[in-house]
Amino acid sequence: MRDFWRVVRRVQSRIEDALAWVAGAIMLLMMLVVTLDVLLRNLINRPFPNTFEVSELSMVGVVFLGIAVTQRLKGHVAIEMATNWLPERARRLLDAAGCLVGLALVLTVTWRAALLAWEAYVIGDYMGAVVRLPVWPSRSLVVLGAAVLAVRLLLDATEHVASAVGRVPAPVERRAEAASTGTLQEGRP
């Protein structure tokens, strides 16, 4: 059973890493479009069409495709001042509860975003006056990113519970420390 969870965590990490690379590529393209818009506007007084809309739709992908890897690396804001006085086991169980609450919220976001993405696809929703940009791909990135985050939260919750009952050491903090020092190795906490 341990091998199964190890494989699941490794596959999940690879999916998160791939989505983070896609988010980076989207950000690069967004920067190029904005730069092109500024150059065209200042040099020949003809701005690039739909720059604002392209940036708006792209930003969704940048945020949601990178959110799961940020959770894995413990990059989200955490306030530990109120829990530092708790025993280690209680902290782990509280962390697991937090992950499960987050999971419930993220699953709700995933479901609603999926409905909105499907509706945008069916009715042909678009943005932009000069060039019509479909909205459904951007909304689909919300669904993808939120679904991958949901799996990450479930994995983190199981790790916290396993750590609280003494089944495994606490890999979550070791991952964060290794990531911050640049010593994170794939497949190893």
Residue 23 domain-assigned (yes or no): yes
Number of domains in the chain: 1
Residue 156 domain-assigned (yes or no): yes
Residue 135 domain-assigned (yes or no): yes
Residues facing residue 35 across a β-bridge:
none
Residue 187 domain-assigned (yes or no): no
d(CA 75, CA 70): 5
pLDDT value of position 182? 55
DSSP tag of 48: P
Residue 189 domain-assigned (yes or no): no
pLDDT value of position 5? 79
pLDDT value of position 187? 45
99: nearest Cα among 6, 163, 174? 163
pLDDT value of position 98? 92
pLDDT value of position 174? 47
pLDDT value of position 188? 42
Show pLDDT as tens, one digit a residue, over the chain (189 residues).
678 878 888 999 999 999 999 999 999 999 998 998 899 888 898 887 788 888 888 999 999 999 999 999 888 877 777 778 888 888 889 999 999 999 999 999 999 999 999 999 999 998 876 788 899 999 999 999 999 999 999 999 999 898 888 766 555 554 555 555 554 544 444
pLDDT value of position 139? 94
Q: Residue 166 region, left (φ>0) first, then alpha (ψ -120 to 50), else beta?
A: left
Residue 188 domain-assigned (yes or no): no
151: containing domain: 2-181
Give the total residue count for the chain.
Answer: 189
pLDDT value of position 145? 96
Decide: residue 61, CB within 10 A, 0-12 exposed, 13-18 middle, 19+ buried: buried
117: nearest Cα among 150, 148, 143, 145? 143
pLDDT value of position 169? 54
Residue 21 domain-assigned (yes or no): yes
